[in-house]
């Protein structure tokens, strides 16, 4: 379904959401693999601290919800590099939320970062990837675009009242993009991690099964790129369990998840 990527040497990669967590670890792993990496995030200081001395890095600070900034950054990269080979949207926001304590401001922020920002990213990147396919029926590689969602998007989960729906919508969005773009020579990948130790998951007050480090998550993502699958999910011992749960009818799923959550 996608062209495998095993050699990142000189590959032109744009990572949005690269200041901390999975995004920062992924950008570092890509640089170590020889890629040219553009890193974007709101915090210019964090980007400078993490990537300022990397000769293969291009620092493009921006807010992932700013469509005009994303468009300018994409144009800058095409002008500088001549094209984009892989574009990866890692930006995300998470605030634990329950039904009796809905925070509309926090919910809107998660919708903006997790979903609307992904649309803006695709709007800036997809036309440029399509332009790279040439005029031979999409046989030439137009590069690929990827989105980091979450297993929280598979089904409803406790404390994910706003986060889960944004990731479910992102999964649907990536699937729709794949239907349109893969036949035209542009790859689409969906990345669904389990729990990863980041500043966002540090807010959780419950045990997180199969918790991984950002470095382990980055390694799993690069391993996934070596294959052709649409979805890259990890760690398998956890994601397979979540996929199995997602197949259950609501009359079984809801009480079972309540029991696991200790409710």
Q: How many helices (DSSP H) and strands (DSSP E) are in the chain?
A: 9, 7
- In degrees rounded to 5, what are phi and psi of residue 190? -115, 125
Active site residue 94: no
Q: Where do the H-state alpha helices sit in 52-162?
A: 67-81, 104-111, 117-131
The rounded Cα 58 to chain-centroid distance in angstroms is 19
CB 125 within 8 A of CB 87: yes
- In degrees rounded to 5, what are phi and psi of residue 27? -60, -40
DSSP reduced 3-state for 12: strand
Sign of the CA dihedral running 42, 43, 44, 48 = negative
Sign of the CA dihedral running 70, 72, 75, 76 = negative
Of 89, 94, 154, 163, which residue is the catalytic one? 163
DSSP reduced 3-state for 3: coil
DSSP reduced 3-state for 38: strand
Say how far apart CA 27 and CA 33 lie, in whole Å: 10
* Residues known to be catalytic: 163
């Amino acid at each position: 379904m996608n062209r495998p990527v095993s050699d990142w040497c000189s590959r032109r990669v744009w990572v949005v959401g690269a200041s901390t967590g999975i995004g920062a670890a992924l950008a570092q792993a890509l640089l170590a693999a020889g890629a040219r990496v553009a890193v974007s995030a709101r915090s210019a200081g964090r980007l400078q601290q993490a990537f300022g001395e990397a000769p293969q890095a291009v620092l493009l600070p921006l807010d992932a919800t700013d469509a005009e900034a994303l468009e300018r950054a994409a144009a800058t990269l095409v002008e500088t590099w001549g094209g984009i080979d892989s574009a990866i949207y890692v930006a995300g926001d998470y605030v634990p939320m329950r039904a009796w304590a809905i925070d509309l401001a926090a919910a809107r922020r998660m919708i903006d970062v997790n979903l609307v920002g992904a649309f803006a990213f695709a709007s800036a990147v997809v036309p440029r990837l399509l332009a790279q396919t040439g005029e031979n029926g999409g046989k030439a590689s137009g590069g690929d675009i990827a989105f980091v969602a979450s297993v929280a998007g598979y089904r409803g989960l406790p404390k994910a009242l706003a986060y889960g729906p944004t990731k479910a919508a992102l999964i649907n969005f990536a699937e729709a993009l794949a239907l349109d773009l893969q036949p035209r020579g542009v790859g689409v990948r969906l990345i669904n991690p389990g729990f990863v130790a980041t500043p966002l998951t540090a807010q959780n007050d419950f045990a997180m099964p199969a918790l991984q480090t950002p470095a382990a998550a980055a390694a799993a993502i690069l391993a996934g790129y070596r294959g052709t699958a649409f979805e890259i999910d990890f760690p398998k011992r956890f994601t397979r369990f979540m996929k199995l749960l997602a197949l259950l009818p609501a009359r079984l799923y809801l009480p079972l998840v309540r029991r696991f959550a200790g409710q």
